[in-house]
Structure 1
Amino acid sequence: MAEDPDVASRRIAKESLDRDDPSGWFEHLYSAASEGQAVVPWDRGTAHPMLLEWVEEAQPEGNGKTALVVGAGTGWDAELIADCGYVTTAFDISPTAIETARSNHPDSKAHYQVADLLAPPAEWRHAFDLVVEIYTVQALPIALQSQAIKQVTEQVGPGGTLLVIAAARPDDVPDEDVQGPPWPLTRAAIQSFTAPDLRLIQLVQSPSPTDPTILRWRAEYLRD
């Protein structure tokens, strides 16, 4: 019997953590998936439903604007944002993920590249009108999440929007009780995306359509 995708992703993550390489597991997982030895649990073959929902509600007009998609994976979210008219940069730490995204979308208007969220290119700072972060921060160990959150917020330009979608964790669940990945975000973590000039303007918590016991955040922020 094939290994359950969630079990496989946790095993691969643990192997990377044991090697003191907390973000290296992304490449190992995407590489194994490309060889048919694993499945990427979050690769839906379409944009995330909560991103689709936001686009439908907000009707963003991206013409003449720039967007950054964090942890692009195989590219479905980036394609939706590019279709909204944004000049879209989409990055992932996994070279295999980026290769797969380019292969999946050969005529893409998005620009895919390999980069590390924890050490992004300096020219990205405050450079984007829209930053989209879906499930990347929660895929990192809790000890790294504050650093990752800071880097996500740093890329939002003046007047820009940040959209964050993540699994939710109750604040009363201790860190040591969370066996990731993922390591879902508490309300406090969601609120920590704010800054003196980056304010939370909408926060929605809703159940997963496949499992109502799993709650998810959709948070929108605006930089003044």
Structure 2
Amino acid sequence: MSEQPQNLQLHVQQLADQALQKQQPSAWFEVLYAQAQGDATQIPWAKLAPHPCLQKWLAHYQPFVLGQKALIIGCGLGDDAEALAELGFDVTAFDISPTAITWCQQRFPNSLVNYVVADLFALSAQWQLGFDFVFECRNIQALPLNIRYTAISCVASVVAPSGTLLLISYVRDTDAEPCGPPWPLSESELAHFESLGLQPVEKIVFQESERFNIKQVRIEYQRSSLV
């Protein structure tokens, strides 16, 4: 029997706390995927479909040339990567969890996506400024505030000149540290993208939950052609 959502959220928080105590803040992802044993209901963000905010954006914004290079950060079970591949992107998708990557390869055995195990904080030098489209969905918010700016810098580093970053994240209204995970991003943290040469083109705020006053943003950034 699958865990109830409340129990699953508590379990995720316990795993994250244990990882923080070991000073390995992203180690809990592999633990969670491995413990799931192929049951996607045990992965709270796994919907087995492309993220609806990504789908809506792709439906209206497709100024891309066939074969442009795309990178999916923290690809999870691969649905977002597959959606981009179907549109003709040359897609690389990575996750820190080897179990997640194996899961992707099993779900999509004939995929054109290059699924790889990689660490956001130790990306290949070949990836620097290397991708025309980068998709970051709720990975930064899963990392504690003391490494938040480093994570943002790593995400920004792979966006090519004239390239696009599409960011989806929960956000908070203050700089005070929230309880988490997730730890929603603040406006000052979002501003760090601009300091790294990414200019916001469009920002849409969604009210994820009226009851809990949770807000989510979808922000399209573009890097200048001059770097």
Structure 1 contact 62–84 (Cα < 8 Å) conserved: no
Q: How does 1:37-76 map to 2 (within 5 A)?
A: 39-76=42-79
What residue in structure 2 maps to residue 22 of structure 1? 25
Match of 2:118 in 1: 115
Counterpart Cα distance in 1 of 2:94 and 2:210: 28
**How far does the alpha carbon of each residue in 1:160-180 deviate from its partner, in whole angstroms, 9 at most, with x for none?**
0011000111125x11xx221
Using the alignment, how far apart are the partners of 1:210 and 1:47 within structure 2?
Answer: 24
**1:182 and 2:185 equivalent?**
no
Question: How far is 1:212 from its partner?
Answer: 7.1
For normalisation by structure 2, the TM-score amounts to 0.91
The alpha carbon displacement at 1:16 in A equals: 1.3
Structure 2 residue aligned with 1:147: 150
For 2:42, the aligned partner's letter is: V
The superposition leaves residues 41-60 of structure 1 with CA deviations (integer Å, 9 ceiling, x where unpaired) of: 10111111111111112134
Aligned-CA RMSD value: 2.0
User: Could you report, residue by residue, the CA deviation over 1:109-156 in whole angstroms, capped at 9, with x for unpaired residues?
Assistant: 111000000110110000100011001111111111100100100100
**Offset, 1:201:** 1.1
TM-score relative to the length of structure 1: 0.92
Counterparts of 1:104 and 1:17 in 2: how far apart (Å)?
Answer: 31
Aligned residue for 1:204, secondary structure, equals strand
CA deviations on 1:17-54 (whole Å, 9 max, x unpaired) are 12221110000011111265971110111111111111
Distance 2:213 2:174 in 1: 16
Residue 39 and residue 157 in structure 1: after superposition, are their counterparts in 2 closer, same or farther (change >3 A)? same
Query: How many residues in Structure 1 have an aligned counterpart in Structure 2?
Result: 221
Measured in 2, the distance between the counterparts of 1:196 and 1:75 equals 28
Which residue number corresponds to residue 85 of structure 1? 88
Which consecutive residues of structure 2, in runs of 5 or more, have no partner in the other structure? none
- 32 and 88 in structure 1: CA distance in 2 versus 1, 3 angstrom threshold: same
